[in-house]
Chains A and B, each alone.
Chain A
Amino acid sequence: MEWFLDPFALGFQQRALAGGILAGLMTAVVGTWLVLRGMSFFGDAFVHGIVPGIAAAVVFDINPLLGAAAAALVMVLAIELVNRQTALSEDTSIGLLFVGMLALGVIIISRVDSYSGSLTTILFGDALGVTTQDLLIQAILAVVVISAATLFYRPLLALSFNADKAQLWGLNPGRAHAALLVLIAAAVIGSFQSVGTLLVFGLLVGPPATAALVSRTVPRMMLTAAIISVFSVWLGLTLSYHLNTAGSATMAIVPIVLFFIVLTFTRLRTLRREKVLSHA
């Protein structure tokens, strides 16, 4: 029992768990739509794209959440600009902004004396440094994100099915897509302090992708992803305590390992079924 309780005996450890769970719930709901819309590359680029905003916030001593929000806005607008002004494919514009924004972030943070420490905290988070105020902001964002995802359930489901059909059903796919971008931004901004900008992507994609292997409906996929997220956060923090590894990274790697375990089991089950059918 001690093995389970010791990692969360102290206040900062409990806050790390609470922060991770809130991040996990937000990213599970938003990540489900991200995976269904095939926007994983955008998600990856996006979590890196907010780095210059956070870096500028560190340099100018303003709230990192504001910096991240400003960088997210610049990133989305710039991608849209490249898409509209050129015939290049969307992944090219995303790739351009991905590298550009990350490089800009590193350049800005390199002006700070504690350069490597600040960069590590931005990229990999500081799960054990989460404050009560951070938790409060995260909780508010989590309520907003999960409520908005529920509000936009039908437009987002229709958009995932087919954008033309969504328009014909009067569900405005453009507005639904814009809402999804805002939700992704809110989930990432609300999670980066716990798990870092780099590793929040693990929670955005890992649990929904694993849930997709075993879910037959979107609500079940969201629920399964949320359960996997919470389990990953708890197991990640527990393992990091006992193995003395980085908390955020251990949290982020658990859902990826789970994905391959579930994939192996589902493939084996399919193969067994096919074998039974071929004998029948």
Chain B
Amino acid sequence: MTRRLCALVGAAALILTLAPSGALAQGDIPRAFDGNPDLNGVWQVIGTAHWDLQDHPAGPGLPDMGAIGAIPPGQGVVVGNTIPYRPEALEQKQGNFENRFTDDPEIKCFMPGVPRATYLPYPFRIIQGDKKIMFIYGFSDANRTVHMDKENPEPAPIDSYMGRSHGSWDGESLVVDVAGFNGESWFDRAGNFASNTLHVVERYTPINANALMYEATIEDPAVFTEPWTIRMPLYRRLEANAQVLEFKCVEYSEDLLYGHLRREPTRPAPEDR
């Protein structure tokens, strides 16, 4: 009971901070068997963070895609709106954007990494048990296991796209410490990126029964001069049949990746582009 009281106070405080315009708690926050918030369910971000983490105006896409491919305008999710790049890293970010139609890991159907997997425009499921919490994302078969039962931080056995995640509860927040990245991932379609020294600390905090606040603090001394934070809500998918459907995108990326190697080439070789 005490725990629940705390939870409500915590949620109310959050709402005051984040949504001062009068949002109200929609009933109790669901509880897991152990009294911690129950995050089980299908969640999704609404917004344009997958286009660009920062404030951005509307912009053109590939001409052949018409309005479908255009970049919609959006308000940023970076706290303070500034990403503290080192000068040479900022140049690389700009280069990434120039080359996004061939280099963006998303266009190649690569696993998106963390935190990008969270705010891609697809739902994801959280399966919260006693020893592990699993995130199953709706893009490129990506998933990750949050170890709740291992000493933190246990070194990653090998660098990977999705990193190695260790979780713990901090009051009402699930805190996930993620490292062991391979440095191949971007953060968005604007070319924001990190290296293999990336370290992400995520916080998932219930706002009410159907929304979580997601916060990720991003640290990478090779790319940024200081840590920075993104913050956005996650919304529960309320459809009775909500389900993360399989989206194996490999075959839709193959022409882009291998079209120049077809018997009848569909695009020039990378060196001729």
Do the two chains belong together in a single complex? no
Which residues of A approach B to under 8 Å, CB–CB? Answer: none
Which residues of B approach A to under 8 Å, CB–CB? Answer: none
